[in-house]
């Protein structure tokens, strides 16, 4: 069981099921396929709101760079530089395109950013 907190800008997309993945920094206790997620916004505030419950369907290491995305197939890195593929990935994560996503990570965490993509299926 894990709690995931989302910034307000992503809350509606998570609740409606449009955002079905998130990118997070590595954790001491990694996410696992099949693990139950509790999705919230505003955790640890008076405005806490539960967005839903989900089950992890995939966990992948990722590196975000300004013009490319690196992910791994097993332990082999796979660089993605195709604009359409980068934009499609960013849209699944709640951004309008890859440039907006890269800017968000640059401004929030710095680039390159290495972390984990967690994908889920909402539970009814």
Q: Identify the pLDDT of residue 1.
A: 79
Residue 9 CA to residue 63 CA, distance in Å, equals: 23
Count of residues in the chain:
124
**What are the sequence ranges of the domains in the chain?**
2-123
Fold (topology level) of 2-123: 2.30.130
Q: Average the pLDDT over 9-26 and give the result.
A: 94
pLDDT for residue 2 is more than 70 = yes
Quick one: how far is CA 24 from the chain centroid?
A: 6
Q: Identify the pLDDT of residue 66.
A: 80
Q: Identify the pLDDT of residue 72.
A: 65
Specify whether the CB–CB gap between 39 and 52 falls below 8 A: yes
pLDDT category of residue 101 using cuts at 50, 70 and 90: very high
Q: Average the pLDDT over 38-53 and give the result.
A: 96
* Residue-wise pLDDT tens digits, 61-93: 888 888 777 776 566 677 888 888 888 989 999
- In this structure, the number of other CB atoms found within 10 A of the CB of residue 59 comes to 16
Residue 94 CA to residue 14 CA, distance in Å, equals: 9
pLDDT category of residue 21 using cuts at 50, 70 and 90: very high
pLDDT for residue 54 is more than 80 = yes
Q: Identify the pLDDT of residue 74.
A: 62
pTM summary value: 0.88
Q: Identify the pLDDT of residue 37.
A: 97
């Amino acid at each position: 069981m894990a709690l995931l907190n989302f910034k307000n800008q992503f809350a509606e997309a998570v609740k409606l099921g449009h955002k079905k993945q998130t990118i997070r920094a590595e954790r001491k206790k990694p996410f696992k396929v099949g693990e139950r997620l509790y999705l919230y916004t505003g955790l640890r505030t008076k405005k806490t709101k539960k967005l839903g419950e989900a089950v992890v369907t995939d966990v992948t290491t990722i590196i975000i760079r300004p013009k490319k995305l690196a992910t791994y197939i097993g332990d082999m890195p796979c660089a993605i530089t195709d604009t359409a593929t980068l934009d499609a990935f960013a849209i699944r994560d709640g951004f309008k395109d890859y440039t907006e996503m890269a800017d968000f990570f640059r401004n929030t965490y710095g680039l390159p950013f290495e972390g984990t993509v967690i994908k889920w299926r909402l539970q009814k």
